[in-house]
Structures are given as C-alpha cells and as structure tokens.
Structure 1
Amino acid sequence: MPRGVKLTDYEKGQISALFKEGISKREIASRIGRSDRVVRNYLNNVDNYGTKKRKGRPRVLSDRDRRSISKAT
C-alpha cells in the first residue's frame, strides 16, 4: 500500500521556487500544505524523487494477455 500521495509537478515547482528564494523547508511545507518530511525528501533528491521501481512479485500476465481476457469478458 502506498504511504501517501506523490507530489504533483506543480507542487514540485513551488517547492523548488520557494527554496531558491531562501524560504525554509518548514515554511515551504506549511505554505503548500504538505509535511516538512515530504519537502525535505524532495529537496534532498530532486532528480530521482518518485522514480523508485515497483517492488514485489512481477506480473504474470503480459499486456496482450490482459487485453484478450478483457475482450472475452
């Protein structure tokens, strides 16, 4: 289960712009309505934020198999 909703592109832009203006991470978090932990995680890893691959067992059915099953039902 996901831990929370990911930052939108708009929120990422807001965080970057406010941080460049010299505003503290805690103040940025209160302005955009997110936790300071989310803001810190984003600013510490801007390039790779939200790019983690799926964990767990790989899917068994291919996209083609899934389409053919949905057509049959």
Structure 2
Amino acid sequence: MPRRNRTPKHQRYRNNSARAPEKKRFASRSDALRAIRELQKYHLDLKLTCYQSPVDGGWYLTSDTSSVQ
C-alpha cells in the first residue's frame, strides 16, 4: 500500500491588526528606506517614499508623493 502525503498546506501570514491589516510597520526611518531600496532592486520603475504615522509613531511606505512633506 503506498504512503500518503499528509503534510499540512502552507498558510500565508495575515496581519489581523484592526488599524491597518495590509500595512507593514518599520521601527525606524532607516529600516523603511532600506526596504525601499530592496524593493526597487526587483521593480525598477517603483517610486516609493516613507512617512511616520502620527498614530503609533511607526514608519510606513507609500507611493503617494503628495502626502510626504
């Protein structure tokens, strides 16, 4: 009788934060800028900036250039 593969399927991590479920928070501006440089290696035409949230003080990435001071 052949063996059966009973390995559980991979489940993607989902951030269940109530405030912003799809955002990734960075602790410092340098971490956010490092993430932008890393993303631009694979997406050459990607234009991103970072901003600090007034709510929690974390740094986030955005493609909206009008919100950056």
- The structure that is helix-richer by fraction is 1
- The structure that is strand-richer by fraction is 2
TM range, smaller chain:
under 0.3
TM-score w.r.t. structure 1 length? 0.25
TM-score w.r.t. structure 2 length? 0.26
